[in-house]
Amino acid sequence: MFCYQCQETSKNEGCTIIGVCGKTADVANLQDLLMFLCKGISHYTMRLRKLGIEICEIDRFIVDSLFMTITNANFDKSRFITRILMAYEMRNAARERLISAGGKIDDIKFDGAHWIGETEEEMAEKALKVGILTSENIDIRSLRELTTYGLKGMAAYAEHAYNLGYTDSKIYSFIQKTLVDLTDDTLSINDLTTLVLETGKYGVQVMALLDRANTSSYGNPEITKVNLGVRNNPGILISGHDLKDMEELLKQTEGTGVDVYTHSEMLPAHYYPAFKKYSHFVGNYGGAWWNQINDFETFNGVFLFTTNCIVPPRKNSTYGDRVYTTGASGFGGFKHIEDRNDGHPKDFSELIEHAKRCSAPTEIENGEIVGGFAHNQVIALSDKIVEAVKNGAIRKFFVMGGCDGRVRGRNYYTEFAEKLPNDTVILTAGCAKYRYNKLPLGDINGIPRVLDAGQCNDSYSLVKIALALKDAFGLDDLNDLPIVYNIAWYEQKAVIVLLALLSLGVKNIHLGPTLPAFLSPNVANVLINMFGISGITTVDEDLKVFM
């Protein structure tokens, strides 16, 4: 195996024996093979698109497959084998359709468009020949992987939007066109750099689509106090990012005596008006994703992963038989709830019955945290915010969104938040917030010093907020705002968020805790020269520069 797609990759070089995340070599290789086959399928679907033919089932399959390969989403080998067999079927269907529509197929040379290996051994053997390292030039490899990870993040957001009935054929088309481009050995470094930037442009579009899907379905997030304590009923702890799953779980648990709590990235579900009406939607339990191996021990109930981030349970864990996955997520040994069929909701009855047999959660903290500062809510407060900036009460904003992770260096973000002067405000989205969202940072004239817009995909809100402030201050350039970007990344959704910010012209982003291993020195230099991207140093040094 070779995988360097996330921030925790071994030695900041690459995982080669087993993933730091726990992904085994066979699963990593099958993920490479699935990506290879998605590129093969796309060779046919792009030709079909040129003939005006779109196959929704395949669009969905590709998006879902990409999502399954995101860090910490799916560790289940059997799901990847099934998926690869499905990929052959999809590819055959696309090929047949192209032939019957009079399209050409004999000039498609890419091996992924033809290769079939039915047995596990054949798959394993082929997988070794199609991984990341097959791009020998390190700059080409770097640009291809940067684009690939952007596509994976894009696929995740497209999938959430799809689940709420929102699709955009241009996004599917871009993903498939780009998958084909990634197999084109004639593309130069310049061509691939252009592709990276284009990926960011579509990143903005997919986040806008998901924002529309979420807010049209569940209302605009509003200022909300989220309870951190527990009640005396058995509970289900739901994690991941999928709001459709959240809705269906809340509906199906209503009146059952089972409470529902959020973990990690599902916390922002509390900010949506449509979910607040459920009295059994109790609060948020625990911290960021990587804390699950502790938090799940004391929750005592049942767990539902709707997406990443899953951490393999410790050997002596007590909760492994109470965990369920759904959607793109999976883990060998956890039960998987099947997708919705023909417009019917998912069936969560098994896990609800399971939860009824469990004890109530053990309280690990109490109190409340405040969130819900997505674009609509912040723009409603913009007069107050602009006034606070004009009269000097707020000197600077710090965008500290992104991901959390388990490496020790991430203490930087807690210390950074603690040491920020009192006349600064943190704008955040994603699970990075768990590094500082429970600190007593206070408020400025009633404006909390941490404004949480929501999940990582709600980073789009941070952009809308910045654009609204730019207008309010009558500025021509986003970069003239008193905003510093100090972003933490971990997995591939953070990559699409970063590329989206770059495509909007945001400059001088600080990226930590380390720069991605998949950026070759030359590619890193391009990003530094074009966009002023840089890493982080120490809190004290960085604060001197930022303030």
According to the annotation, is 358 in a ligand binding site?
no
According to the annotation, is 56 in a ligand binding site?
no
Both tokens of residue 69?
């390969």
Q: Which residue has tokens 């709707």?
A: 306
Instruction: Look at residue 24 and give its three-state secondary structure.
Output: coil
Per-residue binding string, ligand SF3, 53-92, x by CB under 6 A, is: -------------------x--------------------
Q: How big is the chain, counted in residues? A: 547
Residue 361 one-letter amino acid: P
With binding defined as CB under 6 A, does residue 289 bind ligand SF4? Answer: no
Both tokens of residue 527?
């990003």
Residue 3, contacted partner among ligand SF4, ligand SF3, none, CB below 5-8 A by kind: ligand SF4
Q: Which residue has tokens 């303030």?
A: 547
Break the chain down into helix, strand, coil percent, rounded to 5.
50, 10, 35
Residue 8, contacted partner among ligand SF4, ligand SF3, none, CB below 5-8 A by kind: ligand SF4
Residue 9, contacted partner among ligand SF4, ligand SF3, none, CB below 5-8 A by kind: ligand SF4
Q: Which residue has tokens 């009146």?
A: 255
Which residues face 160 on adjacent strands? none
Q: Which residue has tokens 């309010």?
A: 472
In this chain, which stretch among 220-228, 488-496, 507-515, 539-547 interacts with ligand SF3, using CB under 6 A? 488-496
> What is the footprint of ligand SF4 within residues 42-71 (CB under 6 A)?
71
CB of 70 to ligand SF4, least distance (A): 8
With binding defined as CB under 6 A, does residue 431 bind ligand SF3? Answer: yes
CB of 482 to ligand SF3, least distance (A): 26
CB of 71 to ligand SF4, least distance (A): 4
Both tokens of residue 246?
């959240």
Judge residue 406's burial from the number of C-beta atoms within 10 Å of its C-beta, 0-12 exposed, 13-18 middle, 19 or more buried: middle
Contact (CB, 8 A) for 152 and 70? yes
Count the alpha carbons within 13 Å of 317 in the hemisphere toward its beta carbon.
19
Q: Which residue has tokens 């407060």?
A: 381
**Judged by CB, which is closer to ligand SF4: 456, or 481?**
456
With binding defined as CB under 6 A, does residue 308 bind ligand SF3? Answer: yes
> What is the footprint of ligand SF4 within residues 21-40 (CB under 6 A)?
21, 23, 28
Nearest to 75 by CA among 270, 396, 334, 441: 334
Question: Would you give the DSSP letter of residue 512?
Answer: E
With binding defined as CB under 6 A, does residue 361 bind ligand SF4? Answer: no
CA 322 to CA 334: how far, in whole Å? Answer: 8
With binding defined as CB under 6 A, does residue 9 bind ligand SF4? Answer: yes
CB of 327 to ligand SF3, least distance (A): 14
Contacts with ligand SF4 by CB under 6 A lie at 3-6, 8-9, 15, 19-21, 23, 28, 71
Contacts with ligand SF3 by CB under 6 A lie at 72, 241, 264-265, 289, 308-309, 403, 430-431, 455-456, 490-491, 493-494
